[in-house]
Amino acid sequence: MRQAALPIAESPPALSTIAGRLVNLTNARVRRSIARRQKGPPMPETADDRLMQLERIAADQDKVIAELSAEVASQWTAIERLQKKLESLAGRFGAMEEQMAPDVPNTRPPHW
C-alpha cells in the first residue's frame, strides 16, 4: 500500500522581505498621521478672516493653558498634603515600632 505524498510547505518569506513590508507599513501610517495633524481647520481667504481665526485659536490656547495651570496647582497642593500625611504616619509607625520592640540586650550569644 502506497502512502500519498505530503504537500511540501512553501518556504517562509525571507526576513528582509518581512522587514521591508513592516517598514513600508510603518512609514505609511506615520505619513497618514502627519497628514491628519497638518490638515487642521482650513484657513480663510482674506487677511482679516485669517487674523480673526488666529486670534480665536490664541484665545482657545490661553484658556487651555489656564485650565492646565489650575489643574497642576491643585495637584501640587494635593501632593504636598499627602507628603505631610505620609511623614506623620511614618513618625507614628516608628514610635509604635519602638514601643513594641522587646528590650533585648546587645550581648554575645552563649556559644561564642
Q: What is the pLDDT of residues 55-95, one digit of tens each?
A: 999 999 999 999 999 999 999 999 999 999 999 999 999 88
User: What contacts 53, CB < 8 A, 6 or more positions away?
Assistant: 41, 43, 44
Q: What is the per-residue pLDDT for 110?
A: 75
Q: Is the pLDDT of residue 12 over 50?
A: yes
Percent of the residues in the chain that have a pLDDT greater than 70, as a whole number: 59
User: Which has the higher per-residue pLDDT, 18 or 96?
Assistant: 96
Q: What is the per-residue pLDDT for 1?
A: 47
Q: Is the pLDDT of residue 11 over 60?
A: no
